[in-house]
Amino acid sequence: MARATGAVILTLALTGCTAAATASQKKTIVVGVKSDQPGLGLLEGGSHKGFEVDVGTYIARRLGATRVTFQTVTSEDRERQLGAGRVDLVLASYSITAERATKVTFGGPYYVAHQDIMIRRNEQGIRSVRDLRGRRMCEASGSVSTQRVTRGLGITPRLVPSPSYSDCFKKLLAGQVDAVSTGDLVLAGFAARAQDRVRITNTPFTDERYGVGLRKGDVEGCERVNKAITQMYQDGTASRLLRKWFGPAGLQLTESVPEFEGCS
**Digit-coded pLDDT (tens) for 70-106:** 999 998 899 999 999 999 999 999 999 999 999 999 9
Question: For residues 121, 123, 127 and 129, what is the CA-based torsion angle, rounded to 10 degrees?
Answer: -100
Which tens digit of pLDDT belongs to each residue from 169-227? 999 999 999 999 999 999 999 988 887 899 999 999 998 899 999 999 999 999 999 99
* pLDDT of the residue at 249: 75
Cβ(178)–Cβ(135) under 8 Å? yes
pLDDT at 152 over 70: yes
Among 3.40.190.10, 1.10.287.180, 1.20.120.1200, 3.20.20.70, name the CATH number for the domain at 24-112+207-249.
3.40.190.10
| Region 21-38 average pLDDT | 92
> Across the chain, what does the average pLDDT equal?
90
Q: How confident is the model at residue 21 (pLDDT cuts 50, 70, 90)?
A: low
Residue 42: how many other CB atoms lie within 10 Å: 20
Share of the chain above pLDDT 90, in %: 80
Q: How far apart are CA 90 and CA 142, in angstroms?
A: 15
Q: How far apart are CA 91 and CA 179, in angstroms?
A: 25
Q: How far apart are CA 74 and CA 96, in angstroms?
A: 15
Range 144-159 burial, b when 16+ CB lie within 10 A, else e: bbbebbeeeeebebee
Domain boundaries, the chain: 24-112+207-249, 114-206
Asked if CATH classification 3.40.190.10 holds for the domain at 114-206, the reply, yes or no, is yes
Model pTM score: 0.82
Q: How far apart are CA 73 and CA 81, in angstroms?
A: 8
One fold for 24-112+207-249 and 114-206? yes
Q: How far apart are CA 212 and CA 59, in angstroms?
A: 10
* pLDDT of the residue at 17: 39
